Amino acid sequence: MFPLQHMSGKGVAGLSLVVHFAPFSWLLFVCKNLWQGIEWWLIMPGALFTELLRIGLAHFQVEMRGGVWMLISFFISFALLTAIFLLMLRVPRWRIVVTFSALLVCSFLSWAAYGMYRA
């Protein structure tokens, strides 16, 4: 028996938030303005997909404005968080596998976002 199998819904929600946002905690330390870092922290998980979408649309000479870019990034980030939460909630036997898989994916997205930040 794994201890993650018998978690409450609140525990699953907290664990999914930590798994989703913890790899992006570097953002709080590199931003000069803390509130701007918190704002970017919420949209950064979806930023890589939005940037790939922007590059694909640039091929067809379509540009995205900053507000649209942030909104799409937020919705993609929210969709990823919802998918992690629902997978953890619905599959309690594989919750540890879902946790580590989501942590691996979010760590990769964080690494790619850090590369975009440094570029």
Over range 96-105, report the average pLDDT.
Answer: 92
Q: Tell me the pLDDT tens digit for each residue of 61-99.
A: 878 777 888 889 999 999 999 999 999 999 888 888 999
Q: What is the model's pLDDT at position 69?
A: 85
Q: Tell me the pLDDT tens digit for each residue of 14-63.
A: 999 999 999 998 888 888 888 888 888 888 888 888 888 888 888 888 78
With a CB cutoff of 8 Å and minimum separation 6, the contacts of 96 are 2, 4
What pTM value is reported for the model?
0.83
Residue 12 has which token pair? Answer: 């699953």
Taking Cα atoms as reference points, which of 6, 50, 44 lies closest to residue 25?
Answer: 44
Whether the per-residue pLDDT at 100 is higher than 90: the answer is yes
